[in-house]
Structure 1
Amino acid sequence: MCSRKIEEIRLPQDRNRAQGLRNGALWLLSAVGFIAFSIFGLSLASRFFGGEIPALDPRLFELSSLAWIGLFLLIYFLADGLRLYYVLLSLGAQVRFREVFPLVFVNILFSNVTPLATGGGFAQVWYLQRRGVAVGTSAAATLIRTILAMLVIFTAAPLFQLLRPSRAGAGLVDMVIQSLSAFIALYLIGFLIVLLRPQWLGSVIDGLVGLLARVRLLNLRRRVRWGRAIRREVTEFSEGFGRFRRGPLRYSLGSAVFTVIFLLTLFAFPALLMSLLGYEVDWIRVIGTLSIVTFLMYFAPTPGGAGFSELAFAALMSGQIDSPHLLLVILAWRFLTIYLGMALGLVVSIFALRQPKAAT
Structure 2
Amino acid sequence: MSKVYKRFIGLILLVVIISGIVIYTTVDINTLKNLNRFQPWSIVLAVLAVGLGLFFDGSRLMHMVKMSNEKITLYQAVQVVFGNYFLALLTPGATGGAVAQLMFLRHAGVPAGKATVLVIVRTLLSIFFLVLCMPLIFLHDNGIVPGISNQTLMAITLTAFVVIIAIVVGARQGSLDYFVIRFTRRMHNDRRRKIFAFYRDTKCAIGLLSKAPWKMLWVFVESGLNLLCIYAIVPCLMLGLGVTDADWYTIMGRMIFLNMLLYFTPTPGGSGVAEGGFVYLFSESVPAGTVGIIAVCWRMVAEYIPFLIGLYYTLTVFGRDFLNRQLNK
Question: Given the two structures, how large is their TM-score scaled by the length of structure 2?
Answer: 0.84
Does structure 2 retain, via aligned residues, the 8 Å contact 1:49–1:315? no
State which drifts further: 141-150 or 38-47: 38-47
How far 1:269 sits from its partner (Å)? Answer: 1.2
Q: Distance in 2 between matches of 1:37 and 1:105?
A: 21
**1:78 and 2:55 are equivalent in the alignment:** yes
State which drifts further: 240-249 or 126-135: 240-249
Match of 1:278, SS state, is: coil
Of residues 279, 286, 293 in structure 1, which corresponds to 2:243? 279
Q: Provide the aligned C-alpha RMSD in A.
A: 3.1
Amino acid at match of 1:161: F
Q: Distance in 1 between matches of 2:167 and 2:74?
A: 28
State which drifts further: 194-203 or 135-144: 194-203
How far 1:101 sits from its partner (Å)? Answer: 1.7
> Kindly tell me: are residues 38 and 301 of structure 1, through their superposed partners in 2, closer, same or farther at Cα, counting changes over 3 Å?
same
How far 1:270 sits from its partner (Å)? Answer: 0.7
> Kindly tell me: are residues 59 and 133 of structure 1, through their superposed partners in 2, closer, same or farther at Cα, counting changes over 3 Å?
farther
Aligned to 1:14: none
How far 1:351 sits from its partner (Å)? Answer: 1.3
Give matches, 1:327-346, under 5 Å. Answer: 327-346=292-311
> Kindly tell me: are residues 342 and 200 of structure 1, through their superposed partners in 2, closer, same or farther at Cα, counting changes over 3 Å?
farther
Does structure 2 retain, via aligned residues, the 8 Å contact 1:113–1:119? yes
Aligned to 1:312: 277
Per-residue CA distance 1:77-111 (angstroms, 9 max, x = gap): 10121122222222222222222122111011111
Per-residue CA distance 1:247-301 (angstroms, 9 max, x = gap): 3733x13311111111111222111110111012322111001111111212211
Does structure 1 retain, via aligned residues, the 8 Å contact 2:27–2:290? no
Q: Distance in 2 between matches of 1:184 and 1:142?
A: 24
Does structure 2 retain, via aligned residues, the 8 Å contact 1:91–1:240? no
Aligned to 2:132: 155
Of residues 167, 172, 179 in structure 2, which corresponds to 1:204? 179
Aligned to 1:142: 119
> Kindly tell me: are residues 246 and 100 of structure 1, through their superposed partners in 2, closer, same or farther at Cα, counting changes over 3 Å?
same
> Kindly tell me: are residues 116 and 303 of structure 1, through their superposed partners in 2, closer, same or farther at Cα, counting changes over 3 Å?
same
Aligned to 2:265: 300
Question: Given the two structures, how large is their TM-score scaled by the length of structure 1?
Answer: 0.77
**1:195 and 2:172 are equivalent in the alignment:** no
> Kindly tell me: are residues 290 and 128 of structure 1, through their superposed partners in 2, closer, same or farther at Cα, counting changes over 3 Å?
same
How far 1:138 sits from its partner (Å)? Answer: 0.8
Q: Distance in 1 between matches of 2:14 and 2:271?
A: 5
> Percent identity, aligned pairs only?
22
Q: Please tell me whether Structure 1 or Structure 2 has the larger radius of gyration of its CA atoms.
A: 1
How far 1:185 sits from its partner (Å)? Answer: 3.2
In structure 2, list runs of 5 or more residues that go unmatched: 320-329
Aligned to 1:120: 97
Figure out how many residues of one structure are paired with residues of the other and give that number. Answer: 316
Give matches, 1:208-287, under 5 Å. Answer: 208-210=183-185, 213=186, 218=187, 222-223=188-189, 225-247=190-212, 249-250=214-215, 252-280=216-244, 281-287=246-252
Aligned to 1:184: 157
